[in-house]
Homo-oligomer: A and B are copies of this chain.
Amino acid sequence: MARALSHIHGNPIFHVPYTPIPTRQCPSNLPCRLFKVTMSSNQSYWTSINADIEAHLKQAIPVREPLSVFEPMNHLNLVGGHRDQALPAASALQLMYAASFAHEHLPLTQSCRPKSEIQHLYGPNIELLIGDAMIPFGLELLAVSDDPTQKNSDRVLRVMVEITRAIGSQGMVHGQYYEVEYESSCIRQNERASEKYEGTLHGCVAACGAILGGGSEVEIEKMRRYGVYIGKIQGMIRRDERKSKDLKELVEETRKLATNKLSGFNEAKVEAISKLF
């Protein structure tokens, strides 16, 4: 397995076309190539976060081409706290997302998903194992980040609960269930899948940032709701290729709900975080 895993975390397994594919893309509705995400605005900010995650993953495993980027540091910045505290959580979430991506593109018999367009470097048994290995590895990274001398173990465990819930049957898996069980692409179906998949994931990211940054319970829940709305918007836009009027209205409505959740935070920080999205 070591050989295969060095490739997993090393040479990327999945060659994702640069042009966004309709079934699923890299995080945050961004164009992606080989799990690497770029962004047109705030490039330097994202580049620096990406570099931190790369460094963290490189330290943990031999990496030549690192995995992509995530954004919990934004939320951490919002409530206070340092980026270093969030890196293990961000890296764990990145691996969870990569595992989910790998499994979503497995060639299953009688699959109800459209045929995957990505290029597979390994056989299906190995690609299944790659995803199966990434989930515990991400959580292991988070668990070993605990430093008992800092008396922070309960906070790390809380983040663990957040992540396991977000990636499981109450979150991402639930969203994927909607995708495979319901073929209809009506706006309500789109909304449900987006809220569960991208919404829960972004909500988790935001809540983890707030927890690790020492936010209050009120702040944590506000950040979670903000993340859910933002993720939901991204999911809805990605899933609805027609960009209908109904979609635009729903996005606008959700954006207002998201903004409301930031009330009470320092005004400059709210502006900064809103700009990032």
Contacts and interface: CB of A to CB of B under 8 A. Distances in A.
A21 interface: no
B126 A177 contact: yes
Contact of A180 (B108, B125, B148, B180): B125
A111 B124 contact: yes
Interface residues on A, range: 35 or more
Interface stretch (A26-34, A137-145, A237-245): A137-145
A124 B108 contact: yes
Contact of A135 (B136, B157, B174, B177): B136
Contact of A108 (B107, B131, B136, B143): B107
Given A107-B108, A133-B168, A139-B160, 8 more contacts: A5-B169, A103-B128, A103-B132, A110-B124, A129-B180, A132-B135, A132-B176, A139-B164
Interface of A: 1-2, 4-5, 99-100, 103, 106-113, 123-126, 128-129, 131-133, 135-137, 139-140, 143-144, 146, 148, 153-154, 156-158, 160-161, 163-165, 167-169, 173-174, 176-177, 180-181
